[in-house]
Structure 1
Amino acid sequence: MPFTISTLVSFEEDIKKSHFQAFAVPVENEQAVKDFLEEYKDITTTHQCWAWKIGHQVRFNDDGEPSGTAGRPILATIEGNDLTNVLVLVNRWYGGIKLGTGGLVRAYGGCAGKCLLLAEKIELIEKKKVQFSCLFNEWAIFQYELNTQQIEYIEEYTADGVSITALLQIHQIEPLALKIQDTTRGREQLKVIDDEAEE
Structure 2
Amino acid sequence: MLQIENVVTDRGSRYAVSGGPVADAAGVEAFLKELKRAKRYAKATHNTWAVIHSDGTQVKGDDGESGAGMVILRMLEREGLTGHIVVVTRWYGGKHLGGDRFRHVQTCVNAYLEALRLT
Aligned residues: 112
Deviation at 1:40? 1.1
Q: 3-state SS of the aligned residue for 1:60?
A: strand
Contact in 1 for aligned 2:8/2:104 (Cα 8 Å):
no
8 Å contact kept, 1:24–1:88: yes
How far is 1:82 from its partner? 1.2
Q: Please report the TM-score for the alignment, with normalisation by the length of structure 1.
A: 0.52
Given that 2:22 and 2:85 are in contact with CA atoms closer than 8 Å, whether structure 1 keeps it comes out as yes
Trace 1:86-101 onto structure 2 (pairs within 5 A). 86-100=84-98
Within the alignment, does 1:15 sit opposite 2:9 as a pair? yes
Deviation at 1:121, TM superposition (A): 8.1
Residues 45-93 of structure 1 deviation map (CA, whole Å, 9 limit, x = unaligned): 011111111121111111112x31x101111121121111010011110
8 A Cα contact 1:49 1:90, kept in partner: yes
SS at match of 1:87: strand
Partner amino acid for 2:63?
D
Q: Deviations over 1:81-139 (max 9, x none)?
A: 11110100111101122110x211111122112111100389xxxxxxxxxxxxxxxxx
How high is the sequence identity, in percent, across the aligned residues?
35
Secondary structure (helix, strand or coil) at the match of 1:59 reads strand
Tell which has more relative contact order, 1 or 2 (C-alpha 8 A, sep 6+).
Answer: 2
Partner Cα separation in structure 2 for residue 87 and residue 97 of structure 1: 28
Q: Are the counterparts in 1 of residues 8 and 108 from structure 2 also a CA contact under 8 Å?
A: no
Distance 1:80 1:115 in 2: 14
Return 5+ residue gaps in structure 2 as ranges.
none
* Alignment correspondent of 2:48: 49
Q: Determine the structure 1 residue equivalent to 2:106.
A: 109
| 2:79 is equivalent to residue 85 of structure 1 | no
Q: CA RMSD in A?
A: 1.8
Q: Where in structure 1 do 4 or more consecutive aligned residues deviate above 4 Å?
A: none
The within-5 A match list for 1:102-181 is: 102-120=99-117
Structure 1 residues 49-68: aligned runs within 5 Å: 49-55=48-54, 56-65=56-65, 67-68=66-67
Q: Which amino acid aligns with 1:15?
A: T
Per the TM alignment, residue 29 of structure 1 is displaced from its structure 2 partner at its CA by: 1.7
